[in-house]
């Protein structure tokens, strides 16, 4: 009987120790931000994020041609050794610029991939020749990173108001891009 009580007490002590260890690993107990810890832990399926973005834009999701790994390297300047998984599409019709790239980088390489995509976006903003209808969309496109997940978002409807000023078009495009960014953020 005494052995059973001793075994029970030891088991209870181990369980209590394990609970204490779990709690001491809590980022808020360490003075860190719990959302920063959660961002590192969450690993949503890339397919789920992509589908949610497509659903958000519906018929205004215009990319229709897959971007290959070779194209990511040659055109977008991405070191493909840093990619664990990706989904990338651009428009088939050259009159459009809509592009969506979703990359799950190799662990610890998200920042590097983000810099490469941002460099490509900077090039697009500063050097590319665009149809007038695409200027606002290119100017408002964004590259965002959540841990090792990196997204290039140049998406959304076109402002069909014939009286819209350049300022109106930029504001409209910003709102359109933000829809995609909000959808992506909801997974993290």
Closest CA to 94 of 63, 60, 57: 63
Is the pLDDT at 121 greater than 90? The verdict is yes
Mean pLDDT of 75-86: 97
CB–CB of 138/176 below 8 Å?
no
Q: Report pLDDT digits (tens) over 14-46.
A: 333 433 333 333 333 334 444 444 445 589 999
- Model confidence, pTM: 0.77
Tokens 């590319």 -> residue: 128
Mean pLDDT of 102-113: 97
Give me 144's structure tokens. 């965002």
Tokens 């810890």 -> residue: 37
Q: Report pLDDT digits (tens) over 88-98.
A: 999 998 788 99
CB–CB of 156/177 below 8 Å?
yes
């Amino acid at each position: 009987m005494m052995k059973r009580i001793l075994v029970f007490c030891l088991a209870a002590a181990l369980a209590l120790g394990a609970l204490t260890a779990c709690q001491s690993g809590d980022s808020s107990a360490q003075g860190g931000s719990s959302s920063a810890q959660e961002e590192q832990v969450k690993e949503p399926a890339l397919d789920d994020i992509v589908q949610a973005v497509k659903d958000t834009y519906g018929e205004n999701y215009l990319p229709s041609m897959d971007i290959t790994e070779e194209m990511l390297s040659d055109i977008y300047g991405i070191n493909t050794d840093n990619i664990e998984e990706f989904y990338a599409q651009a428009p088939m019709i050259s009159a459009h610029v809509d592009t969506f790239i979703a990359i799950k980088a190799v662990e610890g390489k998200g920042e590097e991939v983000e810099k490469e995509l941002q460099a490509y976006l900077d090039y697009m903003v500063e050097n590319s020749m665009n149809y007038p209808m695409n200027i606002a969309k290119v100017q408002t496109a964004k590259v965002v990173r959540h841990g090792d997940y990196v997204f290039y978002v140049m998406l959304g409807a076109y402002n069909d108001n014939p009286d819209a000023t350049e300022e109106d078009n930029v504001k409209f495009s910003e709102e359109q891009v933000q829809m995609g960014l909000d959808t992506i953020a909801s997974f993290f």
